[in-house]
Structure 1
Amino acid sequence: MARQIFRFGAALGAAIALSASIHGSPARSQPSAPLKLLILGDSLSTSLGVPEGYGFGPALAARLRADGYRNVEVFNGSMAGDTTADAATRLASTPQQYDADVVIVELGGNDMLTQTEPAVVARNLDWILDGYKKRGTRIVIGGMLSKPELGFVYNVTFDQIYPKLAARWGASLYPFFLAGVFGHPALMQDDHIHPNAAGVARIVAGIAPLVERNLDAAAGRRRVAEAR
C-alpha cells in the first residue's frame, strides 16, 4: 500500500512567527514530537484525478501549515475503491501502520454505491471507531449521504449511520464529506463522483476547523502525558 506523508518543517516565515507570538497560535503550544494525523478513506480522500499536490492530503497539510500547525505529520492511508470492510481488514492485518493521534475516517461511499446493507456499514465503522477510541485517538468522521434513487428506507437508514456513531464514540462529525461540492459541476470531475482540485479545496476549507480542534486536544493530552 502506498502511503503519502506530508511533514511540516519546523521553520516558518518571520511573519507567521510574529503572528503566533501575538495571537497565540496553537502551533506554539504543540508538543515537541510531531502529532500524527491519519486519513483513512477511499478515493474521495486520495489524489485520484487531481494534479499532484492538490489531493486531499497535501491540500489539508498546506491548510494546517498556513494556520500555524507546524508540528504535524499527515499520513494518507486512504485506498481508492475501499469499502468499510476493506478498510477494517487492512486495520486488522497491520494495525501499527494506522496508529495516529488524530484520524479522519472517510468511508462508506463505495458501500452505498453497491447498496450494501446499512447495518453492515454501521457494524464495520463501529469496529473501526471502537479500535481508535480504545487507543485514545481523536476521531473526525467524514460522513456520507446516500443517493436519492436508492429509496426512502435506504436513504434514512444509511444517512443515520454517521451521526449515531459520532454520538456513540464522542467523535467530531463532518456530516457530508462532499458538502458544498457534490452537484456543483465546477467543483467535480467529469465522472460526477470525485471532486476536482477546486472541490478538494472546498472540502478542506470545511473540515479543517474540526481537524484543528482535534489536533489541539491531542496536543493537550500529549503535554499532560509528557509532564508526568
Structure 2
Amino acid sequence: MADTRPRFFQASRISRRGVLIAGLAALPARALAARGQVVTILGDSITAGLGLTAQAALPAQLHLALEKLGVHNVVRGAGVSGDTSGDGANRVDFSVQPDTAVVVVALGGNDLLQGIDPRTTRANLERILVRLKQRHMGVVLAGLHAPPELGRGYAHDFDAVFTGLAKVHGVVLYPDLLAGVGRNPAMNQGDAIHPNARGVQVIAAKLAPVVAQELAKRP
C-alpha cells in the first residue's frame, strides 16, 4: 500500500540506526569532547534537517550559533524522521552518548500530527527526562504550540505537557521550538511543516543562548 502520510512520517526508518551509528562514530568521543562540551539534540525530522543539507540542518547551525557566543562545542544530531515521543523514549540510551553535557529534547511534533493523547506524550517525555537526570545530564526541553484548529481543549492540554514537565522536573523550558518560524512561508519548505535553511538559522539563533546558559552550569 502506498504511504500517503505527510512527509513528516515518510523517511526510511529501516536504516536509521545505521545512520545514527555513523554519525556518532565519526570521531572518537575523547576527540569530540576535546573540542568543547557535547550537546545532543534528541528529536525528529525537524531537528534532523529533512530536506536540507547537513550544513544547513539544526545540529550544524546550533554549533555555529554557540560558537558565535564564544561557547566551544560539539553538537550531535540524534533526530530521526517520523519519531514520536515514544520512539525517542525507546532509544534515548542509545542515541545520547555518555559524554553528552546537555540534551535538547525536541520531540512531540509527530505526536501532534498523529493526534496522540497528550497524556501519552507527557508520559513518554517524562521517561526521557527521568533517564537523562539519572545520567546527570543537563536538559533543555523544547516545546511546541498546538494549532487551534485541533481544538482548544487538545491544544491547551498539549501545550501544558511541556510547561508541566519542566516545572515538575526542574529542567529548562524553551517554550516553542518553532518561534518566529512556524506558519511563516518564508521560513518553511513547501510542505509548510519543515523549516528551510533560513528558518533553521532563526531557530538556532534563538535556541543557542538557552543552551549556552545550561552548558555553563555543567562541570
Establish whether TM, by shorter chain, passes 0.5: yes
- Residue in structure 2 matched with residue 76 of structure 1 by the alignment: 77
Partner residue in 1 for 2:157? 157
Q: Which amino acid aligns with 2:75?
A: V
1:69: Cα distance to partner? 1.7
Cα displacement (A) at 1:33: 7.6
Which residue is 2:117 aligned to?
A: 117
Give the TM-score normalised by the residue count of structure 1.
Answer: 0.79
Paired with 1:67 and 1:77, the residues of 2 have a C-alpha distance of 23
Query: 1:100 offset after TM fit, Å?
Result: 1.8
Tell me which of 42, 45, 51 is aligned to 2:44.
Answer: 42
In structure 2, the partner of 1:87 is 88
Provide Cα deviations, 1:165-196, integer angstroms capped at 9, x if missing partner. 11111111111110000111110111000100
What SS class does the counterpart of residue 179 from structure 1 fall into? coil
Aligned residues of 1:91 and 1:98 also touching (Cα < 8 A): no
Quote how far apart the aligned CAs of 1:105 are.
0.2
**In 1, are the aligned partners of 2:42 and 2:95 still within 8 Å (CA)?**
no
Aligned length in residues: 194
User: Whole-Å Cα distance in 1 between the matches of residues 77 and 124 of structure 2?
Assistant: 20
In the superposition, the TM-score normalised over structure 2's length comes to 0.82
Structure 1 residues 68-90: Cα deviation after superposition (integer angstroms, max 9, x where no partner): 222x2211111111001111111
User: Which deviates more from structure 2 when the two are superposed, residues 45-54 or residues 55-64?
Assistant: 45-54
Contact persistence 2:126–2:165 (CA under 8 A): yes
SS where residue 126 of structure 1 aligns?
A: helix
Judged with a 3 Å threshold, the aligned counterparts in structure 2 of structure 1 residues 204 and 81 are, in CA distance, closer, same or farther, namely: same
Larger radius of gyration: 1
Change (3 A) 1:102 1:43: same
Residue deviations 1:76-111 (CA, integer Å, cap 9, x gap): 11111100111111125x376466210000000100
Q: Which amino acid aligns with 2:111?
A: D
Which residue of the other structure, out of 57, 72, 75, is the alignment partner of 1:55? 57
Percent of counterpart pairs with the same letter? Answer: 37
| Cα root mean square deviation, aligned | 2.0
SS of the residue 1:86 aligns to: helix
SS at match of 1:139: strand
SS of the counterpart of 1:131?
A: helix
Sort the Cα spacing of 1:129 and 1:102 in 2 relative to 1 into closer, same or farther, 3 A.
same
CA distance in 2, matches of 1:172, 1:96: 18
Q: Show structure 2 runs of 5+ residues with no match.
A: 1-16, 28-32
Q: Residue 194 of structure 2: SS of its match in structure 1?
A: coil
Structure 1 alignment gaps of length 5 or more: 8-30, 223-228
Aligned to 1:21: none
